[in-house]
């Protein structure tokens, strides 16, 4: 069974590689595309698999084959695997946001209320109360 992360990366590469290349690597997806293209450079079989995936991003068999190739390369090259797995969560968030999804990220410790929302319609206001004790009127 193909690694789900590599399958997702392969799918994103196939469908968004051209957009990411135009971006020039300024985003996590662009950086991921650059890392993968650099690693595949000089390997005619791997380059061909990428080209085939880009030509047929909706073909599950083609994407599966490309994902398995990425998985084999990652198994043989720990540095490559670390780069891909490190960039993927940020690239995935960018893809979600660019497709109209919502990406809320919070890092560190939150000492009070944290509200993350999209399309919030508050009629009558919002009161979250005292974070250190009960609400006093």
CA distance 80 to 69: 13
Mean pLDDT of the chain: 80
Q: What is the mean pLDDT of residues 76-101?
A: 83
Is 42 within a domain? Answer: yes
Residue 48 lies in a domain: yes
Local structure of residue 124 (DSSP, 8 states) = S
Burial 9-18 (b: 16+ CB within 10 A, else e): bbbbbbebbe
In a domain, 64, yes or no: yes
In a domain, 125, yes or no: no
Q: Is the pLDDT of residue 25 over 60?
A: no
The residue segments making up the domain with residue 17 are 4-98
Does 67 map to a domain? yes
Report the domain count for the chain: 1
Please report, to the nearest 10 degrees, the dihedral formed by the alpha carbons of residues 61, 64, 68, 74 taken in order.
Answer: 150
pTM of structure: 0.66
C-alpha 13/C-alpha 11 separation (Å) is: 5
Residue 37 lies in a domain: yes
Average pLDDT in the 16-29 region? 66
Yes or no: say if 100 and 84 are a contact pair by the CB < 8 Å rule.
no
For the record, the structure tokens of 59 come out as 């073909």
Residue 16 lies in a domain: yes
Q: Is residue 59 part of a domain?
A: yes
Q: Does residue 39 carry a pLDDT above 60?
A: yes
């Amino acid at each position: 069974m193909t690694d789900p992360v590599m399958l997702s990366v392969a799918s994103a590469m196939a469908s968004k590689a051209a957009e990411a290349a135009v971006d020039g690597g300024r985003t996590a997806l662009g950086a991921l595309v650059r890392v993968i293209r650099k690693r595949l450079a000089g390997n005619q079989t791997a380059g061909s698999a990428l080209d085939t995936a880009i030509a047929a991003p909706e073909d599950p068999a083609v994407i599966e084959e490309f994902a398995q190739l990425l998985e084999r390369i990652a198994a043989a090259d720990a540095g490559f695997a670390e780069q891909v797995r490190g960039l993927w969560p940020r690239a995935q968030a960018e893809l979600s946001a660019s497709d109209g999804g919502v990406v809320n990220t919070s890092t560190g410790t939150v000492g009070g209320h944290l509200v993350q929302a999209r399309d919030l319609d508050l009629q009558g206001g919002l009161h979250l109360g005292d974070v250190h004790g009960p609400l006093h009127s």
